[in-house]
Amino acid sequence: EVQLVESGGGLVQPGRSLRLSCTTSGFTFGDDAMSWFRQAPGKGLEWVGFIRSKAFGGTTEYAASVKGRFTISRDDSKIIAYLQMNGLKTEDTAVYYCTRVLLVGSGTYYPFDWGQGTLVTVSS
């Protein structure tokens, strides 16, 4: 059974940093891409960013709202994905979800499995 467990959320002041972790099990982590999404309280879903597997270069993509402030990385030996968040703003307050993303055919990636989410609150 695929399991994704996010951790590292909490209350942080504007301008500070936080690192979220996504601990995984139940699949071959190194073979798959991973992505982060977020959902502000009472709002819709927003894509944050994406990291490909090492086989596809381990490269990343980011939403414009976080580019230059957030960094996604992966440690295939520990089977953990990370979201490093710097220069946090009040508008970054949200539940952050880690997802396992699979390449379907020769088409595109889809987030098949989601963690339960971790709440990040940015406030002074």
Partner 1 sequence: DIQLTQSPSFLSASVGDRVTITCRASQGISSYLAWYQQKPGKAPKLLIYAASTLQSGVPSRFSGSESGTEFTLTISSLQPEDFATYYCQQLNSYPWTFGQGTKVEIK
Residue 104 CB neighbours (<10 A): 10
Q: How far is the CB of 94 from partner 1 (least distance, A)?
A: 13
5-44 binders of partner 1 (CB under 8 A): 37, 44
Pairing relation of β-strands 10-12 and 118-122? parallel
Task: Give the integer Cα–Cα distance in Å for 15 and 86.
Answer: 7
Q: How far is the CB of 62 from partner 1 (least distance, A)?
A: 8
Which residues lie below 8 Å from residue 87, measured CB to CB, with a gap of 6+?
A: 15, 17, 69
Q: How far is the CB of 18 from partner 1 (least distance, A)?
A: 20
Q: Does 97 bind partner 1 (CB under 8 A)?
A: yes
Comparison of 105 and 124: residue with beta carbon closer to partner 1:
105
Task: Give the integer Cα–Cα distance in Å for 36 and 14.
Answer: 21
Comparison of 59 and 90: residue with beta carbon closer to partner 1:
59
Under DSSP, is residue 77 helix (H, G, I), strand (E, B) or coil? coil
Comparison of 13 and 59: residue with beta carbon closer to partner 1:
59
Q: Provide the mask over 40-79, with x wherever binding to partner 1 is found by CB under 8 A and - wherever it is not.
A: ----xxxx--x----------x-xx---------------
